[in-house]
Amino acid sequence: MLLLRTLLQMPELRLSLHTGEDQLDRTVTRVYGTELPDPSRYLSGGELVLSGLLWHHGPQDSETFVRSLASARVAGLAASETENRELPPDLVDACERHHVPLLEVPVDLSFATITERVSMELVGLSRHRRLLNVVAEGSGLPALLLAGGHELSAPCWVLSTTGRVVAGGELPDRVTLVKEFLQADRLPRTVRGMTLVPVSERGGNRLTSWILVVGGEPQQEAAAELASLVGLERLRQAQGRQIENRTAGPLVAAVLSGSADVESRLAAAGLENTRLRVISAVTSDQRTELAAAVIEETLPQALVTPVGDTVYAVAKAGDSMPDDVREAIRVMEPGLGSSRVLVGISSPVEWRGLRGAAEEAAHARRLGERRGGRTCVVAGEEIALHQLLLAGVPEELRTSLRRRLLGPVLDYDSEHGSDLVGTLKVFLDCSGSWTAAAGKLHVHVNTLRYRVGRVEELLGVDLAEFEARVDLFLALQAG
């Protein structure tokens, strides 16, 4: 049995107590890291909750967060600021009010170190020792999952919320399992004979969690312990990726500015002598951390970095990348809530074309903003030239151009309940073919000629002229 006071006595952790001295005999059952403002649905009691306080913006946030911990009967909260400053006083007050012991983590101590140290204390049983030995040996996630499956006497898998099998064999119905995980009111949850256990969430969002899938209904504590160790492996991978991504910021900055050192930066990142794609992504609520996490989960080998409210990535080109990204993000869609994820992907280019590729990816993304749906992935090779040109025009200017060129017809339709704009669109889509357009509209050719003539009269144009057709076609596309 691991007590909270035992953690305070571990010199390597250097934890300090802010409140809750009379509650240090609480038993710690596991470590759970979170940045959710209300993580109660993931807690079963006895957790040492680790948090970097990314959710904290004011006193009410502390009240909500700590109240949720108290209701779940956690052992305590270990918190750390990202800078050398004190923990928020309102957090200390909330912990004292709700009787939640509050421990401060030194800023130079990683949560991974705490997780590993506490996990070592919790391995009293031989099962725990064997699993931890796999982690300590650095055998990797597949070996850990194999050992965990043996201990649980059940097959195990690790899924990302894109439906990608991170570790384990072939998994039927993985898309359905992801959907059930994202929409579950509480976790763990058993679906179709599979138990879904959250591994960890990045940026406080279930959407970017991994999922431990265990066949059958395993003992909950054992599954939670395996999930914690899988989370430790994930954290190690994330730290490795963070090191790799240190080259992403300078590389993308060099690409966007047209700097001469792009080639050398690509070589440093191991991306020389290969065709590349640039990815540009945003969310409708400007959550760059979510956009970055989505791209990292979707394209594990990409170099990813935020630039303002936009996330850029550079990755080795693959012909199937647009379809793969589109499918992966579609799987994640049930967890988006009110957010939209919009992604533009450039055509494959050599390194000299990266600046143009970045612009193409941004234009493709902006084109996606004008389309419907909670997710939209647009690839450069899928965009017609006029769409690419219009995507670079500000929305206010597009509206102004549409109004200037089509205003009289728009007003006429509004006043008379007609659809001359629709007639014009079909006529132009049929390349000015009277017969084809009349057939598509299900009207007589003479009726079509009358309607088109009315459009010409209202706009003062001759649709027999190619230039007039181009102008009006672009005006229609700008809407």
* Whether residue 204 sits in one domain with residue 137: yes
* Whether residue 350 sits in one domain with residue 312: yes
Instruction: Supply the CATH number for residue 421's domain.
Output: 1.10.10.2840
Mean pLDDT, the chain, whole residue set: 87
> Would you state the pLDDT for residue 50?
94
* Whether residue 175 sits in one domain with residue 95: no
Instruction: Supply the CATH number for residue 338's domain.
Output: 3.30.70.270
- Token pair, residue 474, equals 């672009």
* Whether residue 102 sits in one domain with residue 25: yes
pLDDT bracket for residue 390 (50, 70, 90): low
Lowest mean pLDDT among 144-153, 194-203, 347-356, 445-454: 194-203
Lowest mean pLDDT among 80-94, 119-133, 188-202, 340-354: 119-133
Distance CA 365, CA 360 (A): 9
Which residues have C-beta within 8 Å of that of residue 394, sequence separation ≥ 6? none
* Whether residue 97 sits in one domain with residue 75: yes
- Token pair, residue 476, equals 């229609």
For residue 388, give the 3-state DSSP assignment.
helix
> Would you state the pLDDT for residue 224?
87
> Could you give the C-alpha distances from 399 to 251, 338, 383, 459, in angstroms and in order?
36, 26, 21, 17
User: What's the burial of 67, exposed, middle or buried (CB within 10 Å: 0-12/13-18/19+)?
Assistant: middle
Q: Among 214, 242, 270, identify where a domain stops.
A: 242
Question: Is residue 393's pLDDT more than 70?
Answer: no
Strand order in the sheet with 16-19: 16-19, 102-104, 76-79, 47-51, 30-33
* Span 102-116, average pLDDT: 91
Question: Is residue 66's pLDDT more than 80?
Answer: yes
* Span 101-115, average pLDDT: 91
Instruction: Supply the CATH number for residue 160's domain.
Output: 3.30.450.40
* Span 100-129, average pLDDT: 82
* Span 109-129, average pLDDT: 77
* Span 79-103, average pLDDT: 89
Distance CA 306, CA 283 (A): 12
Q: 220 or 48: whose pLDDT is higher?
A: 48
* Whether residue 227 sits in one domain with residue 257: no
Question: Among residues of the chain, what percentage have pLDDT more than 90?
Answer: 41
* Whether residue 101 sits in one domain with residue 146: no
Question: Is residue 117's pLDDT more than 90?
Answer: no
pLDDT bracket for residue 75 (50, 70, 90): very high
> Would you state the pLDDT for residue 438?
92
* Span 54-65, average pLDDT: 92
- For residue 320, which phi and psi values (nearest 5 degrees)? -90, 0
pTM: 0.58
> Would you state the pLDDT for residue 243?
77
* Whether residue 128 sits in one domain with residue 110: no
Q: Among 391, 409, 428, identify where a domain stops.
A: 391
Radius of gyration of the chain (CA): 28
> Would you state the pLDDT for residue 4?
94
> Would you state the pLDDT for residue 51?
92
Distance CA 34, CA 154 (A): 27
Q: How many domains does the chain have?
A: 4
* Whether residue 465 sits in one domain with residue 450: yes
* Span 366-375, average pLDDT: 83
Question: Is residue 202's pLDDT more than 60?
Answer: no
Distance CA 28, CA 123 (A): 12
* Span 74-81, average pLDDT: 93
Q: Which domain holds residue 468?
A: 395-477
- For residue 417, which phi and psi values (nearest 5 degrees)? 65, 25
Q: Among 70, 95, 117, identify where a domain stops.
A: 117
* Whether residue 304 sits in one domain with residue 218: no
Lowest mean pLDDT among 205-209, 384-388, 422-426: 384-388
* Span 400-429, average pLDDT: 89
Distance CA 253, CA 246 (A): 12
Question: Is residue 203's pLDDT more than 60?
Answer: no
> Would you state the pLDDT for residue 125?
46
* Whether residue 197 sits in one domain with residue 107: no
The DSSP bridge partners found for residue 279 are: 313, 345
Q: 281 or 251: whose pLDDT is higher?
A: 281
* Whether residue 234 sits in one domain with residue 101: no
Contact 302, 270 (CB under 8 A): no
Question: Among residues of the chain, what percentage have pLDDT more than 70?
Answer: 95
